[in-house]
Amino acid sequence: MLVSSIKNYKNILNFFPQLDIVFDYILKNINNKTLDGKYNITKSIYAIVQTCEPKHKEEQVLEKHKKYIDLQYVISGKEKIGWKFFDKTFKTLKRYNPKKDISFYSNIPDTYINLKKGEFAIFFSEDTHAPLCCQKTVKKCIVKIPVKYLNI
C-alpha cells in the first residue's frame, strides 16, 4: 500500500514511472465537475468516478483484487479506508468473482487510512481494504490498473 498526495506524484513516479499516464489523466481530467461514471484511460486502465455515501458498519468489509491494483483518489470530501495485509488467516466472506475481480473477507482491518481532497492510496494485490468507512459523502476516482502493467 502507498498513501500520498497528488502534489507528490513526481516522487511516486521515481518508483513507478508507468503511472505517469494515470497521474497525467487525473491532473487533466478529474475534478469536482467530472461526472460520475467510467472513463477509459488506455485499453487496460480505466477510472471510475463515484459520489459515495458511507457504508453501514456491517457493510464495511475488507475486499481484495487479483487482476487490478486500485488507486483511490479523493476528489472532494474525506475518505476513511480500512487496511490489512492479506495472509493465510483470512476468513472468506464471499469467494473471488473473476468477472468483477473481487473477493470479500470478514477479518477486521489492522489500521485505517484517512484521505482528504487531493490525496490517494494505492492498494496492491496483497492489500485488503475496506472503503467508505467515512462519516459523510465523498467523491472519489478509483483507477483500475492491471497488476501486470506495473511488473510486480
Say whether pLDDT at 47 is over 90. Answer: yes
Query: Whose CA is closest to 128, among 149, 107, 142?
Result: 107
pLDDT value of residue 114:
96
Dist. CA 137–CA 47, nearest whole Å: 19
Say whether pLDDT at 151 is over 90. Answer: no
Give the CATH number of the domain where residue 65 resides.
Answer: 2.60.120.370
Instruction: Give domain status of residue 129, yes or no.
Output: yes
- Give percent of the chain with pLDDT exceeding 70: 99
- Give percent of the chain with pLDDT exceeding 90: 88
Say whether pLDDT at 64 is over 80. Answer: yes
* 55 dihedral zone (left: phi>0; alpha: psi -120 to 50; beta): beta
Mean pLDDT to the nearest integer, 22-41: 98
If one counts the domains in the chain, the total is 1
CA 97 to chain centre: 18
Instruction: Give domain status of residue 40, yes or no.
Output: yes
For residue 24, the enclosing domain spans 2-147
DSSP conformation letters of 42-77? SSS-EEEEEEEPPPPGGG--EEE-SSEEEEEEEEES
Instruction: Give domain status of residue 27, yes or no.
Output: yes
Instruction: Give domain status of residue 152, yes or no.
Output: no
Task: Check: CB of residue 83 under 8 Å from CB of residue 119.
Answer: no
Dist. CA 83–CA 24, nearest whole Å: 27
One-letter identity of residue 14: N
Instruction: Give domain status of residue 44, yes or no.
Output: yes
Residue 100 C-alpha cell reads as 468483477
pLDDT value of residue 54:
85
- Would you tell me how many other CB atoms lie within 10 Å of the CB of residue 124? 17
Instruction: Give domain status of residue 119, yes or no.
Output: yes
